Structure 1
Amino acid sequence: MSLKSYLDYLSFEKKYSQHTITAYEKDLEQFGLFLMDEYDLEIQNASYPIIRTWLALLLDQQLSSRTVNRKVAALKSYFKFLLLIEQIDYHPLSNHKSLKVSKNIQIPFSKQEVQQILNASYDSEDFESVRDLLIIELFYVTGVRREELINLRIENVNLLSRTIKVVGKRNKERLIPMLESVKFKVEAYLLLKESIETDKRPELFVTRKGDKLYPGLVYRIIKSYFSKVSQKVKTSPHILRHSFATHLLDEGADLNAVKELLGHASLASTQVYTHSSMEMLKEVHRNAHPRSKKD
């Protein structure tokens, strides 16, 4: 059974993101090499004890529990597919329990840190400066995922209604409102974009050479700007998305409304962002309540 058939299944049937498909492909290829080198076996012939040996090897290599669990998820998904097409008659990981992962509460950027960047002066004629600040503002104003921003097409940016249409996980589309201030920045950016392009790309954001953006560049843009105003260890596009959700909740936004804006399938995913809001409330309570003050 070719790996390509499985990857096509993930893409066209399960509607997985390209990021997930690529990660699963690498995980399966890694496990396949291990099986051939150590046991001269194909993946469909792997037993649970052999899989456990591989997982133990990964942990010996100091891989995190979260990373190992993702590799297990890739194997589970592949075996489930093999069962579906009747290439195997039992699932070797059916009773496997995932490793425990410590819950790290991600700290969002403060409102002051975000405003410090967005209110800073910049060269309005420099393409990269205009693009980078628009990227940061769109992340913060709309809460989109990195992949959604990279794939955002000009035709899906409606300046008249001040909305953008993004394609999220499982190819689900959603409309997200923009602020009036962002509308004018998009218009200014599009003029600069036209001046650098030889072949006009359909995506809103491009590199200085006119090529499509890529994940590493977007990550570097966020890190470059926020490392100047924030002492946080992690400065990434996801932290900006996290900040978007947390700041909305801090200002009293309805949890279900935030869920729709983020494109979450379940409310449980959105509730993760309430932790930061609760920490802020605890701080206010601790500082203001008479009983918390020491003599």
Structure 2
Amino acid sequence: MISLFLQYLQYEKNYSSHTVLSYRTDLYQFCDFLRTDPSEFNPTLVSQSTIQQWILSFMERGVSPRSISRKISSLKSFWRFLMKRGLVDKNPALKLVLPKTNKPLPAFYKQQEMDNVLSENNRTGGFEAVRNRMIIDLFYETGMRVSELVSLTDSSVDFDARQLRVIGKRNKERIIPLGETICQDLRVYKEIRNRVTDIKCDALFVRKNGMKMYSKAIYNIVHNEMAQFSTLKKQSPHVLRHTFATILLNNGADINAVKDLLGHSSLAATQVYTHVSFSELNKIYKQAHPRAIKKGGQI
């Protein structure tokens, strides 16, 4: 039944291979706890008490609430699937409560850091240098995910309309507007790419040998480039995505518009950035507003 559920996630829900693997890992761990082979797992024999004992074993080992919450969610989704398909008549995961997690606010790059990394002084160099800056610029100006950037092809860019067609999670398509400057930079990048590489695929971003780039290479590029200009502990494409959203909201963009640009399916996922924006505004207020400063110069 587990394999049936995983096929459902992959082919009907169009979940990414990474997400499907996470579900598989959680369910296989549960089978290990039950000392049962996943192929012989019988969900009708599982009780709520058994699941609670499994969860307790993680708590005793000091596993984070976030990780435990994900494992509970995996079991809930699995039994919901079984109930809908009529494969079981009881759901032992129904009343399980997700542990509260203190979600950290998303980190983002400062405007000056982005100005420095994308300045004209850093736009010199060979093909790889130009490509790497182009990748960072595109993340910063579109807020797209790594998987979305990797799947871009030459036809994804409409230079006349200044638009980028992105295929997001669950194969949902969205259109992101592009500025004139980044369109010009993309044209320059493509000219250099076509001149110095023997292109062997239709991907927009390629390696020097003309082959398609994958997520790990993109992560490494962003990490290495941004580490030169930022003091954040984590340097990643997702931090650039956070930066994109935070800058838009700080400059008065409508949250629903930001939601659509990010490709979020619900507003709740976007609202975390409003907390970041408020934190920044609160900091500025305390530093600059005379009524926020107590006597003696204290805030």
Give the TM-score taking structure 1 as reference length.
0.89
CA deviation profile, 1:22-64 (whole Å, cap 9, x unmatched): 2212222232233236999715233322222222233344332
Q: Judging changes above 3 Å, is the alpha-carbon distance between structure 1 residues 49 and 120 closer, same or farther for their aligned structure 2 residues? A: farther
Q: Match for residue 28 of structure 1?
A: 27
Q: Match for residue 118 of structure 1?
A: 118
More moved, 78-87 vs 139-148: 78-87
Q: Judging changes above 3 Å, is the alpha-carbon distance between structure 1 residues 59 and 195 closer, same or farther for their aligned structure 2 residues? A: farther
Q: Judging changes above 3 Å, is the alpha-carbon distance between structure 1 residues 59 and 219 closer, same or farther for their aligned structure 2 residues? A: farther
CA distance in structure 1 between the aligned counterparts of 2:151 and 2:86, rounded to whole angstroms = 36
Q: Match for residue 49 of structure 2?
A: 49
The answer as to whether partners of 2:131 and 2:205 remain within 8 angstroms in 1 is yes
**Deviation for aligned residue 1:197:** 5.3
Residues 60-79 of structure 1 mapped to structure 2, 5 A cutoff: 60-79=60-79
Q: Match for residue 169 of structure 1?
A: 169
Aligned residues: 294
CA distance in structure 1 between the aligned counterparts of 2:202 and 2:38, rounded to whole angstroms = 48
Unaligned 5+ runs, structure 1: none
Amino acid at match of 1:22: L
**Deviation for aligned residue 1:198:** 4.9
Amino acid at match of 1:29: Y
CA distance in structure 1 between the aligned counterparts of 2:275 and 2:75, rounded to whole angstroms = 32
Q: Secondary structure of 2:252's partner?
A: coil
The answer as to whether partners of 2:163 and 2:176 remain within 8 angstroms in 1 is yes
The answer as to whether partners of 2:143 and 2:244 remain within 8 angstroms in 1 is yes
**Deviation for aligned residue 1:98:** 0.4
RMSD over aligned Cα, in angstroms?
2.5
Q: Judging changes above 3 Å, is the alpha-carbon distance between structure 1 residues 146 and 65 closer, same or farther for their aligned structure 2 residues? A: same
Q: Judging changes above 3 Å, is the alpha-carbon distance between structure 1 residues 197 and 82 closer, same or farther for their aligned structure 2 residues? A: farther
CA distance in structure 1 between the aligned counterparts of 2:271 and 2:230, rounded to whole angstroms = 25
More moved, 16-25 vs 207-216: 207-216
The answer as to whether partners of 1:134 and 1:185 remain within 8 angstroms in 2 is yes
Q: Match for residue 10 of structure 1?
A: 9
Q: Judging changes above 3 Å, is the alpha-carbon distance between structure 1 residues 51 and 119 closer, same or farther for their aligned structure 2 residues? A: same
More moved, 265-274 vs 94-103: 265-274
**Deviation for aligned residue 1:139:** 0.7
Q: Are 1:253 and 2:253 counterparts? A: yes
CA distance in structure 1 between the aligned counterparts of 2:92 and 2:281, rounded to whole angstroms = 47
CA distance in structure 2 between the aligned counterparts of 1:161 and 1:94, rounded to whole angstroms = 49
Amino acid at match of 1:34: F
CA distance in structure 2 between the aligned counterparts of 1:196 and 1:6, rounded to whole angstroms = 46
CA distance in structure 2 between the aligned counterparts of 1:141 and 1:101, rounded to whole angstroms = 31
Residues 187-202 of structure 1 mapped to structure 2, 5 A cutoff: 187-195=187-195, 198=198, 200-202=200-202
Q: Are 1:158 and 2:158 counterparts? A: yes
Q: Match for residue 278 of structure 1?
A: 278
Amino acid at match of 1:14: K
Return structure 1 stretches of 4+ with deviation > 6 angstroms.
Answer: 38-41
The answer as to whether partners of 1:80 and 1:91 remain within 8 angstroms in 2 is yes
Q: Judging changes above 3 Å, is the alpha-carbon distance between structure 1 residues 199 and 281 closer, same or farther for their aligned structure 2 residues? A: closer
Identical counterparts, % of pairs: 39
The answer as to whether partners of 1:108 and 1:242 remain within 8 angstroms in 2 is yes
The answer as to whether partners of 1:223 and 1:235 remain within 8 angstroms in 2 is yes
Q: Are 1:128 and 2:124 counterparts? A: no
Q: Judging changes above 3 Å, is the alpha-carbon distance between structure 1 residues 124 and 256 closer, same or farther for their aligned structure 2 residues? A: same
**Deviation for aligned residue 1:104:** 0.9
Q: Secondary structure of 2:35's partner?
A: helix
Q: Match for residue 222 of structure 2?
A: 222
